[in-house]
Amino acid sequence: MLEIQRNTPQVGAIAEGVDVRKLDEECWNKLYQAWLDCNVLVVRGQNLQLHEFLQYSRRFGTINPHPSKSTRHPDVPEITLLGVNKYNADGTLNMDIYARGASGWHTDGAYDQIPFKATQLYGVAIPSRGGDTLFASMYAAYNALPESLKQRIEGKIGAYVYGGRRKHTALLNPEDRAKPPVFHPLARVHPETGRKALYFDPGKILRVEGLPEDESNALIDELAKYMVQPESEYHHKWKKGDIVIWDNRCSYHKAAGDYPPEEDRIHWRVSIKEPQTQTTH
């Protein structure tokens, strides 16, 4: 029987007692609502094949292959393999693979014209210690802004590219490293919940449109201080067979990047967007 428990008052819920391969509509609706309510949903105790993971993931939206082509599954490009091939040919640790996602708090897909609705991971191999994934609420970040800062960012637009100001594009193929920026409001209303969030990624943002470079950088640094509110954090300790999906429209995340490098930490990952709608003229 499906049981759902909140992890913290603001972020994270854990669902147990369900097989995602056999979800009826009632159970699915409960899971989806828990995800909207809690930003992050964990479904424990799954035993999935690749096609089963994809089938479940597609219930949330349209799956788009990640721009990092080198880390896509060789047979199923919709799936990214995290934690695989983390050693270079000379035996040194490839930190771009080992510590992927650990460089700072961020949201996935801000560099796309249509940002990622969600990211979903499936735990294939879990280390004996470390390797947590950390989450925080964009709602809480926005609510924590002083009123004067809320007014300053109202109507402001951020310009985003994959590598951000640091031009960190090591995981991209050369032909994908010079794409033009895309633009998103810093204060963004969630399309399903109607709640306002601080939509912001300091590692992917190039600038705040309409501001001189020094003012733009100062505003980016100021906003970064509000991203993670302690009461809105959830640290997920992985178990093999966990599925974790987070809502990129209202949550930040990062990897801890602290597990024993000689052990495996392997996940299947999918990037999910809103379903494309057809317009008839």
- Digit-coded pLDDT (tens) for 69-112: 888 899 999 999 999 999 999 999 999 899 888 889 999 999 99
Residue 175 to residues 113, 172, 199, Cα–Cα distance (Å)? 18, 8, 28
Q: What is the mean pLDDT of residues 11-37?
A: 97
Rounded CA-CA distance 101/90 in Å is 24
- Strand stretches in the chain, DSSP E: 3-6, 13-16, 40-43, 62-64, 80-82, 118-125, 133-137, 157-160, 182-185, 187-189, 196-198, 205-208, 234-236, 243-247, 251-255, 266-273
Residue 170 confidence (pLDDT) above 90: no
Residue corresponding to tokens 């178990």 = 239
Structure token digits, residue 56: 């479940």
- Taking only the tens place, the pLDDT of each residue in 206-265 is 999 999 999 999 999 999 999 999 999 999 999 999 999 999 999 999 999 999 999 999
Indicate the domain borders of the chain: 3-273
For residue 77, the 8-state DSSP code is T
Rounded CA-CA distance 243/267 in Å is 9
Q: What is the mean pLDDT of residues 58-70?
A: 90
Structure token digits, residue 119: 């990211």
Rounded CA-CA distance 238/132 in Å is 6
CATH of 3-273, picked from 3.30.70.1060, 3.60.130.10, 3.40.50.1240, 3.40.50.720, is 3.60.130.10
CA atoms within 13 A on the CB side of 183: 6
What's the pTM value of the predicted model, to 2 decimals?
0.91
